[in-house]
Amino acid sequence: MTFLQAIQRLLPFLVIAVFIGSFWPVRSGDFVIDDYVFLAQSRLIEAPLAAFWSSHFYEPIYFRPIGIVIWWLATEAFGLDYARHSMINLGLHVINILLLHALLAQLGVKPMARLVGVAAFALLPFTVAATLWPSNRFDLLAVGFLLGLAIAVLRFLQTGRWPWLLLAALLSITACLGKEIAFPVATTIACLGLAARSISWARRMTVFAVLGFSISLTFLYRHFMLASPYAVGGNNLLGRMASGVRTWFESMPELARAAVIEPTIPAVSVVAWSVVLVVLTLAMIGVLARWRPGRIKARRLEGSLRDEQGPWHAHVLGAVMVVAGITILFQAPLTWNFREMLSADTLGTVTFARFYYLPMAALAAALAIALMRIRYVTTVSLAMVVATMALAIEQRDLAKRFAAWTDEEIRPMAVAAAETVDQVSGETLDRNVTEDQPCVVVLLDTQKDHPWFRMFSDVTVKARASHEPTWQCYVMTETTPWLFISPQDEPLPEVGLSKIAVDSIGTPLEDSMWGGVRYRYRQSPEGPRSLPEARYFAWQDDRFIEVTDEVHGGARTVEFHHW
């Protein structure tokens, strides 16, 4: 074995090790916002497989049963142990790194160029940041299934063996049930199979027909499961796509900056970014200028996909760029909707990063293929891998900051909120022996710094509640009292909150129930006087202090806001 071969074998493991090192500090953090929704519902669900045949998501425009079942399994196994929950995301990203490596090898990409693509996907801020928040798990799952789908399709086209086609059909279904962005991407992969002109038409059409059937069947199933399956696009889908694509590209520098906002070694960060950008530019120039004319000698496999009428890599690069474009385009409406997430704080960074995770997998593959057109590909690739690892080391600070913020600022308030409502629910239950009084709790001063996120709503308390009667309570804040979770068979009184209108004629959104869970959606009240039974608690001196008399007496003002 030569020295270069040893380096080529060692580097993939070194890339994974660097990612783990960058990720590891986040294990000391804690749950935040959507995490609590999945924790709370997992405590209530007795049969998680019901997620496959009922509308289960807390927002009625999504259908992601595979992720819901994994959250249930994790909660059953780990409870509220955040460190173990976070390791699921670490494991999923490592699996996706290995799958991308296998896909590039399947395409015949040279080992060193392949490592550049793997390192870019594994370590750049656009993907590492997305792994740090447990609720981004849906994106990691979808990407894993889609990478497996691409590998299975290639293997069937090359070998004609039916087990690969059946695996591809299964992976197309699981990808689409993982996250809805998989629908257009899986469809694109099926269509690109038709472009493998060195493969017989019968085999290409078989792939297209089988995948088309499985994807279409899953799409129709999702359509009938959801009341508003297309609401995420809004009334002006094309306009939101255009705005979202612009937002996607404009946000890249801000996201990258936020991920390494306080580099440990500034000079290393500057040099690393410079090398990455210069090599990426040279790679693209190399493709356009055809620095290395002639056909790339890709590893010939049985039933090779190489087009004998032109350079192999040009067609594959074009196909991968199409996939990248589709992933960006179809996520654009959500990118635009949530553009205000991306700010200087760590929460905005790790939540917004999910819009880059899937596109970066495709762009990283495109980069690896493009590098095969330049001279000195081994030297340039090695330099870029080292630079990317340097950048990943700088990102360790992002994981530290996110963990410190959730553990030091969010967790104490969440624990105190659960303890407070547990106490109130017990007192309310005792009073209900002689009088009919619902349990309504309003937690004040919880969202001053982050008003866009439902941090301390009903689900946060019920994810941590230790007192069973707490499930009968309504828990609200000043800004997001619209989502309540409780056992499906638990009768809940109406407490003066109006229902949310789901269309222009004011049709009310009814309770959503599945698997033993009830989701109730309500608008913000007009004011505290519309909630005469409510007890109010303000966050003071690291604990919740009851201020009910002050609110009802008018000494303390409470202004409710819609989310």
Residue 295 has a pLDDT of 41
The token pair at 126 is 């656009």
Residue 448 has a pLDDT of 72
Identify the weakest region by mean pLDDT among 198-212, 243-257, 535-549. Answer: 243-257
Residues in contact with 268: Cβ distance below 8 Å, sequence separation at least 6, in sequence order: 390, 393, 394
- As a residue count, the chain comes to 563
**What is the C-alpha end-to-end distance of the chain, expressed in Å?**
61
Which residue, among 435, 511, 424, has the nearest Cα to 471 in the 3D structure? Answer: 424
Going through 64-140 in order, the beta strands assigned E by DSSP cover: none
Identify the weakest region by mean pLDDT among 24-28, 44-48, 78-82, 117-121. Answer: 44-48
What pLDDT digit, counting tens, does each position of 175-201 carry?
999 999 999 999 999 998 888 777 888
CA dist 547 and 550 (Å) reads 5
Residue 302 has a pLDDT of 36
CB atoms within 10 A of CB 224: 8
Relative to beta strand 535-540, strand 440-444 is parallel
Residue 156 has a pLDDT of 93
CA dist 546 and 550 (Å) reads 9
What pLDDT digit, counting tens, does each position of 435-482 carry?
567 889 999 888 776 655 666 689 999 999 988 889 989 998 887 667
CB atoms within 10 A of CB 473: 26
Q: What is the mean pLDDT of residues 126-149?
A: 94
262-300 burial, b at 16+ Cβ within 10 Å, e below that, comes to ebeeeeebeebbebbeebbebbbebbeeeeeeeebebee
What pLDDT digit, counting tens, does each position of 96-124 carry?
999 999 999 998 888 888 899 999 999 98
CA dist 410 and 401 (Å) reads 13
Relative to beta strand 517-521, strand 483-487 is antiparallel
Asked if residue 367 lies in contact with residue 104, where contact means CB atoms within 8 angstroms, the answer is: no
Which residue, among 223, 232, 233, has the nearest Cα to 61 in the 3D structure? Answer: 232
Confidence label for 421 from pLDDT (cuts 50, 70 and 90): very high
What pLDDT digit, counting tens, does each position of 308-360 carry?
334 455 678 888 888 888 998 888 888 877 777 776 678 888 888 899 999 99
Kindly state the percentage of the chain with pLDDT values over 70: 83
pLDDT of residue 307 exceeding 50: no
Relative to beta strand 483-487, strand 512-514 is unpaired
CA dist 284 and 242 (Å) reads 25
Q: Is 519 helix (H, G, I), strand (E, B) or coil?
A: strand
Residue 391 has a pLDDT of 79
Q: What is the mean pLDDT of residues 168-173?
A: 96
**H or E segment and range at residue 368:** helix 354-371
Comparing 155 with 394, the larger pLDDT belongs to: 155
Asked if residue 454 lies in contact with residue 480, where contact means CB atoms within 8 angstroms, the answer is: yes
Identify the weakest region by mean pLDDT among 14-18, 95-99, 507-511, 512-516. Answer: 507-511
Q: What is the mean pLDDT of residues 520-534?
A: 81
Average pLDDT, the chain: 82
Residue 281 has a pLDDT of 59
Torsion of CA 59, 60, 66, 69, to 10 degrees: 60
Q: Is 538 helix (H, G, I), strand (E, B) or coil?
A: strand
